[in-house]
Amino acid sequence: MKYRFSKASVIIIAVILCFASACVTTAYAAELDPSRIASVGSDSQTAYGTENDSFPDSYSSAELGYVTPVKSQSYNDCWAYGSLGVFESALLKNGVSSGNMSPNHMNLWATKRSDSTGWQRNPFEAGFTEIATGYFTSWQGAVSEDEAGEIALSYASKGDSALTNLARFGVTGIEYISAGDTAAVKRAIMNNGGVFASYGTTPECLSNNKTAYYMPPSYSGSYMGHSIEIVGWDDNYSKSRFDAISSVRPQSNGAWLIKNSSGSYNPIGGYLWISYEDKLLLKDKTYINFTINSFEEITPKVRLEQNEIFGATYEFTYLQEEKSTFVNKFDFSNGHNTLDKVVFATRCSGAEYTVSYVPANARGTLEADPEKWKKLGSGTVPYSGYVCADISDFSLPLGYGGIAVCIDTSAVNEGISQTDNGFVKSGIGVGEWLRNSQTKQYIFLNASKREQSYIFQNGEFVDLMDWYRDNNNDSIGGTFVIKAVTIGEGASVSLLGDVDLDSTVMISDVTMIQKWPVKVAIGGYKDSEISCSKH
């Protein structure tokens, strides 16, 4: 198979919905190869339980106090309310009172930026699941309404006007839940409080008292997309309660309890029961369902190193290989020099992974000899999504360094040939542009740069921007979603005499020190250049 794609055509990767939208809003991925979506392992086993778990007949996070009050959305932002509800529930399940998180801050953050990058939308348009996962894992949200204050939204709003230092907690683990995996949904609700999901809504499928909803598989009418939080279930919820206008009832009992975002519009306070047999809820593979597995309290001593803020908009599986190594380079010169965790995005559930530190010289050139890398940890990818690998407090050398994630899918592919549809390619989440194939308009524009992400192949580092240019004729490129959680005092740390802050003391530093008094006397140095005054 050749991998020189033109971007004239693109494929669907997600549908994220809005109650008030005129139609279902669809996101399209940047490239052609549909196997990039299918190349995932089984999600039936997670780090939080097994597929053989037994569950109670009914369960409600709302009754147990793990759900914040039902809200009433103002715009096409059900995706914000649903995903924020999942974050709020995860906090409450862990004994943290989050208060109500601000949908307006999230909505503002997810608009087009001043430099035209970011999500290509205004605050009154529908959104996408990837907005939520990027927002949470960038630690730029979520933000409590008290911290966010009044946020006025307009068509002129710019995403970079949203304050990014207000979040109290940053997400480190997000699990994507496969369509049809009801055991994983129940497990996630019991462990984390709730699950983000989406379905198609129409008055024709709503019961007379507006408390039960069922879209039969045979339904062929119009509907609008809508995102919600699933907070419970009842295996014995009677099918007779689904007395919708369509008069078609489910074949069996059982329903999911969802927290809606339309206010207290019915006798059960704005909650809704949706049949297990609903046509779209947890059935449609184009919808991304997720739960939040882990998060970190953000303090001055904790820092997130990242090369992108929007998260994984796509899965980088172009290489057609079972084993690949992906690297992000960072500058660890900010006083947070203890590596605590590594967070990376991948859909290769069941694959083996290894996390390593890659040394670099003062100029940022990464060490190409793997024998000189430091292995930090390894394990099995527990689920598709954002995986958090705990590191045993590795002391990071001052200056540039790389975090390498090697993903090996050979165990998942045992007995499967590369030509079979079940073959899983090694892949990692990448921030890559998205475009609507019908309108040809961008949905998302990344701001990727050189010397941020690399592929390590045949003993050499290939800059990801060069790879996109040479293999995809793509000048926009992408950035790998590999993040480092570091700990330190937060003060700037540098070597005595290291004037240019390149982590080494050389003749050039001595020369700058000698020249500094003269340059300052004649006003020749800019403020940013007078770094020797700190030593």
- What tens-digit pLDDT sequence spans the chain (535 residues)? 222 222 323 333 344 444 333 333 333 334 322 222 222 222 223 333 455 568 999 999 999 999 999 999 988 899 999 999 999 999 999 999 878 999 999 999 999 999 999 999 999 998 988 999 999 999 999 999 999 999 999 999 999 999 999 999 999 999 999 999 999 999 999 999 999 999 999 999 999 999 999 999 999 999 999 999 999 999 999 999 999 876 789 999 999 999 999 999 999 999 999 999 999 999 988 889 999 999 999 999 999 999 999 999 999 999 999 999 999 999 999 989 999 999 999 999 999 999 999 999 999 999 999 999 999 999 999 999 999 999 989 999 999 999 999 999 999 999 898 888 889 999 999 999 999 888 889 999 999 999 999 999 999 999 999 999 999 999 999 999 999 999 998 544 344 444 444 444 444 444 444 443 433 333 333 333 222 222 2
CA distance 329 to 306: 9
Which pLDDT value is given to residue 70? 95
Q: Torsion over CA of 505, 508, 514 and 518, rounded to 10 degrees? A: -130
Which pLDDT value is given to residue 247? 75
Of the candidates 315, 308, 345, the one whose C-alpha atom is nearest the C-alpha of residue 118 is 308
Which pLDDT value is given to residue 74? 87
Q: State the angle between helix axes of 78-93 and 182-192 in degrees (0 to 180), rounded to the nearest 10.
A: 60
Domains, the chain, in order of start with CATH, read 50-291 (3.90.70.10), 299-487 (2.60.120), 497-535 (no CATH)
CA distance 346 to 463: 20
Q: CB–CB of 272/262 below 8 Å?
A: no
Of the candidates 476, 493, 398, 372, the one whose C-alpha atom is nearest the C-alpha of residue 430 is 476
383 CB-side CA count, 13 A: 27
| Token reading at 524 | 């020749």
- DSSP for 441-491 reads -EEEE----TTSEEEEETTEEEEHHHHHHHHH--SS-EEE-EEEEEES--S
Taking CA atoms, 275 is separated from 204, 217, 253, 396, in Å, by: 14, 12, 8, 51
CA distance 464 to 452: 8
CA distance 189 to 56: 12
Which pLDDT value is given to residue 161? 96
Look at the block and give the residue holding tokens 């230092």.
165
Which pLDDT value is given to residue 418? 85
Backbone angles phi, psi at 205, to 5 degrees: -110, 5
